Amino acid sequence: MSIATTPATAAATTAAPKTAAPKLKTSAMIASFADPGQKTASAPFGHALVKAARENDKIVGLTADLGKYTDMHVFAQAFPERFFQMGMAEQLLFGAAAGLAETGLVPFASTYSVFAARRAYDFLCLDSAEPNLNVNIVGGLPGLTTGYGPSHQATEDMAIFRGMPNLTIVDPCDSIDIEQAVPQLAASDGPTYLRLLRGNVPAVLDEYGYTFELGKAKVLRGGNDVVFVSSGLMTMRALQAAKALAAQNVDVAVVHTPTIKPFDAATVLAEINTDRLAVTLENHSVVGGLFETVASAVVTAGIAKQVVPVALPDEFLDAGALPTLHERYGLTVQRIVAKVLAQLG
């Protein structure tokens, strides 16, 4: 792809017409993806970890100079003697997390997803996963949740991590998922990776009589025409898209699969193996994430069925304002609805 054809570069190098509306700006590192007026919870991970740590004195926290940006600071303030600042040194962060686990502790170690997956893979793989230690990786900015560009956008974190034996991967939708997942991650034996949503995180799933169960997919709503299989914040968008499509007489079921690995193929395949249009929705590259997890389960089961992905393209993404980028790369409700309607003809 030539540089001149990328939208961001084109926008940056072409003088804007004087009458154009002001362009949205890349906001803080961590842009909120909550809709205006949406119910949210503040720092759900930090508070859930504090709560879990009150009940389990083996839980400790670590970070690599990103405590404030991964909500780990809430834990650090509540339990300063159980918090270890490792500095901007991700190999040390995860090697030390393994060492802490070797002494019987239950570490939660936070950094951005890009640094966990790209910089520290070997340390997670050999020091925690191979000996199957209870090391809990907490990765901020999963997928496209920052406008800072590829240095901070972990669009392929699940693709990287899915090949690691023993590792459990959780892609939570909202604050309820996170609050309920944290104690279960602490209680599960092997290593885990949590795709962290931090700051003011939408609270969505309480309206659906939902509870998080590690390793389980849940049908959030039924529908006769289309079945959405989604994870992470895209479950929130899937639910919103289902409502929008209902207004156009398209009846959409939504299956939420917060645990990507081990994958609850039984629940998902039971929903997919129908004559409804099947769509996966994920905040991740179309390579190696939820779509390919579902696709491999479908093929393995011998089901002849098209599955339509809503996912980020296999590209390095642009920098920019998050709403602009979600629209550009197809993660908005509007883009999902359009894609479904096009598929239905």
User: Hey, which residues between 83 and 122 contact other proteins (CB under 8 A)?
Assistant: 84, 86-87, 89, 91-92, 94-105, 107, 122
x-or-dash string of contact with other proteins, 130-169, rule CB under 8 A = xx--------------------------------------
User: Which residue, 26 or 91, is less far from other proteins as judged by CB?
Assistant: 91
Asked whether 256 and 235 are in contact (CB, 8 A), the reply is yes
Which of 292, 321, 297 is CA-nearest to residue 156? 292
Locate tokens 């949406």: which residue? 38
Count of residues of this chain found to bind other proteins when the rule CB under 8 A is applied: 28
Stretch that binds other proteins, among 41-49, 127-135, 155-163, 218-226 (CB under 8 A): 127-135
What distance lies between CA 3 and its chain's CA centroid?
A: 29
Q: How far is the CB of 184 from other proteins (least distance, A)?
A: 23
Residue of 90, 156, 179, 282 marked active site: 90
CB of 131 to other proteins, least distance (A): 5
Structure tokens belonging to residue 153 = 């956008």
Nearer to other proteins, 30 or 96 (CB): 96
**Of 128 and 155, CB closest to other proteins:** 128
Distance CA 121, CA 160 (A): 8
| Residue 123 binds other proteins, judged by CB under 8 A | yes
Give the full edge-to-edge strand order of the sheet including 192-195: 83-85, 59-63, 106-112, 136-140, 192-195, 168-170, 259-261
Nearer to other proteins (CB atom), residue 106 or residue 233: 106
Minimum CB separation of residue 27 from other proteins in Å reads: 31
**Nearest approach, Cβ of residue 87 and other proteins (Å):** 7
Residue 227, beta-bridge partner list: 253, 278
Contact between 78 and other proteins by CB under 8 A: the answer reads no
Considering beta carbons, is residue 53 or 279 the nearer one to other proteins?
53
Known active-site residue 90: yes
The least distance separating other proteins from the CB of residue 56, rounded to whole angstroms, comes to 14
Residues 19-58 that bind other proteins (CB under 8 A): none
Least distance to other proteins, CB of residue 100, Å: 4
Q: Does 298 bind other proteins (CB under 8 A)?
A: no
Binding residues for other proteins, rule: CB under 8 A, are 60, 81-82, 84, 86-87, 89, 91-92, 94-105, 107, 122-123, 126-127, 130-131
Q: Which residues have a catalytic role annotated?
A: 90
